[in-house]
Amino acid sequence: MNAGEGFFAPAGACRLPAGRWRDGRLEHATELVADEVPVALVYNGISHAVMLASPRDLEDFALGFSLGERIVDDAREIHDLEVEEAAQGIAIEMRIASGAMMRLKETRRARIGKTGCGLCGVESLACFDDEACAAQAQGGEARFDPEALQRAMAGMAARQDLHHATGAVHAAGWADGSGELLCVREDVGRHNALDKLVGALARARFDSADGFAVVTSRASFEMVQKAARAGFPMLAAISAPTALAVQLAERAGLTLAGFVRGGRHVVYSHPQRLAVESG
């Protein structure tokens, strides 16, 4: 079944006219397409970043982004948060603690978010190395059954209503030690999906170290960085990692698994959390 055929339009999707070529014929149809809008993150009246994102779960996104970029150290430093429609997109207005705002002013830099990769505007190679060293995973000596990875990844499909409708978004999920998914968030950008997950867990007051993160994308440097900063002990990706991501995961104490699908996976760092005898 094609995206849009027989599907209701979930939040974050819209119907657009299209021409569908099938069995040698052109048919006029409507297709469900994922929404992608500019979202401005505004702190105490100052616009800090503009990200391209799916217009759903934006409160989670704002909190997760703020924590992941270390704009705030704790959710309680955000005193007020409002999502407002704007002429060109959406503005998320946040009022943050004075200490957090002072730190933000010291480090503020202009950036434009994209659905691809980037280094979030670090100013030099030295700054980049400092950023890499700052990420530290939590979870101590947490152990996970390898089957929990497979169970969590297999369960992701049933929780991705926006992807089922449009075929155009990524998802990030959080599973407990048994692999049961307790929270899933979707977005056109894989980084955004992980930010939304981090924000959702913080709002619900879950301890991210009590489970692990699964993502329906590759594991890039920034995905590992966000996972480590959020305190996940393990990140499991359906696709491959990059070499830089593996190096960061090793330094940060994060267990990184890739190609988690079809009953198989590859562990690239800190395999002790998946304690089984090698075969």
Strand segments (E) across the chain: 13-22, 25-34, 37-43, 46-53, 78-85, 90-96, 170-175, 181-187, 212-215, 234-237, 255-261, 264-269
Closest CA to 208 of 217, 198, 220: 198
CA torsion sign for 265, 269, 274, 277 is positive
Instruction: Report yes or no: 56 and 208 within 8 Å, Cβ to Cβ.
Output: no
What does the alpha-carbon distance between residue 10 and residue 8 come to, in Å, rounded to a whole number?
6
Secondary-structure breakdown of the chain: helix, strand, coil percentages, each rounded to the nearest 5: 35, 30, 35
Burial of 244 (0-12, 13-18, 19+ CB in 10 A): middle
Active site residue 120: no
What does the alpha-carbon distance between residue 53 and residue 197 come to, in Å, rounded to a whole number?
14
Residue numbers annotated as active site: 117
